[in-house]
Amino acid sequence: MVKLKTTAMALMLGLAVSTSGVASERKSLPAPEGHPLSEILSGYEFRTDETKRVQDDDFENPAFLLLDRGAELWNTVDGAAGKSCASCHGDAAVSMKGVGASMPKWNKQRNMPITVERQINICREEQMQAKPWKWLKDQNMLGMTIFVKNQSRGMPMMPDMAPEMEAVRKKGEEIYYTRYGQLDLSCANCHEDYYGNYIRADMLSQGQINGFPTYRFKWSAVGSVHRRFKGCLDNIRANPFKPQGEEFTALEAYMSYRGQGLPLETPSVRN
């Protein structure tokens, strides 16, 4: 019934839904017991050969300009404390290895889940006594996030299994399956029911987040996963949640669970 309703809505809106014939060529991971999907696929597997080529070439990948910026910022002293990131964390290749693959992570001191971006601003404000960066489009925040997560590139996504994170993921799951907006659609309607099919000229993926921050050709820019969440809600004419707020953080935690085992691709390239 849900699928019929979604298809009918798509047809009413003129969103052409068609099936791709290349599914057998995609590389997937078997989903663990209890997972909502039978297989786990990176968004990379749904992109064109040209898009894959751009991602795979570190010299062509536009997001590497921001990665270089993040590397420079890592060693840049900022704030009243006279510190840089390296002052506390040293060589990022050592201290940040595995960090991006396991966040959001439960922070006992704050009694809340922490994303990479939020941890960056915690360090800036409390350790460096520097001004926090803005969440969505701040080039410094994007650059540092890419730099930190890139230290885990190729490592499997490992969702934090702290007991407190179970409730966070449950909240994210509820958001994932809830219909929102004037189009009355949920995340699952596109990314679970119809992945591998075309809507307009774009092929739907499973919506996995193992490549964020990502360079999107549609944006002609790099964007964070919370920017992508906001864009999806905008597309279905719903009021988006706040970036780095409770709802988007919970959704990110749940999406990390859905993508468990996928190698981190940051920074990826998408359509």
pTM as predicted: 0.91
Residue 200: predicted pLDDT:
78
Task: Render pLDDT for 33-70 as a digit per residue (tens, 0 to 9).
Answer: 999 999 999 999 999 999 999 999 999 999 999 999 99
Determine the Cα–Cα distance for residues 31 and 39; give it in Å rounded to an integer.
5
Domain extents in the chain: 2-59+160-270, 64-150
Determine the Cα–Cα distance for residues 158 and 177; give it in Å rounded to an integer.
22
Catalytic positions are 232
State in Å, rounded, how far the first CA of the chain is from the last one.
30
Residues 6+ apart with CB under 8 A from 209: 225, 228, 252, 255, 256, 259
Q: Are 259 and 209 a contacting pair, CB within 8 Å?
A: yes
Q: Low-confidence residues of the chain, pLDDT below 70?
A: 1-24
Please indicate whether the domains covering 2-59+160-270 and 64-150 agree at the CATH topology level.
Answer: yes
Residue 202: predicted pLDDT:
85
Distances (CA, A) of 136 to 91, 114, 230: 26, 16, 10
E-only strand ranges, 37-84: 39-40
Peptide bond into 30 cis (omega under 30): no
Instruction: Report which of 150, 186, 174, 184 is spatially closest to residue 265, judged by C-alpha positions.
Output: 150
Q: Are 153 and 144 a contacting pair, CB within 8 Å?
A: no
Determine the Cα–Cα distance for residues 155 and 137; give it in Å rounded to an integer.
26
Q: Which two structure tokens, joined as six digits, stand for 264?
A: 């981190």
Determine the Cα–Cα distance for residues 174 and 254; give it in Å rounded to an integer.
9
One of 1.10.760.10, 3.40.50.10470, 3.50.50.60, 3.40.50.2300 is the CATH number of 64-150, namely 1.10.760.10
Distances (CA, A) of 248 to 18, 74, 174: 30, 26, 12
Residue 146: predicted pLDDT:
99
| Crossing angle (nearest 10°) for helices 246-258 and 163-177 | 100
Look at strands 214-216 and 268-270 and give their pairing: parallel
Residue 201: predicted pLDDT:
80
What is the dotted CATH code of the domain comprising 2-59+160-270?
1.10.760.10
Q: Which two structure tokens, joined as six digits, stand for 70?
A: 């993040």
Q: Are 191 and 210 a contacting pair, CB within 8 Å?
A: no
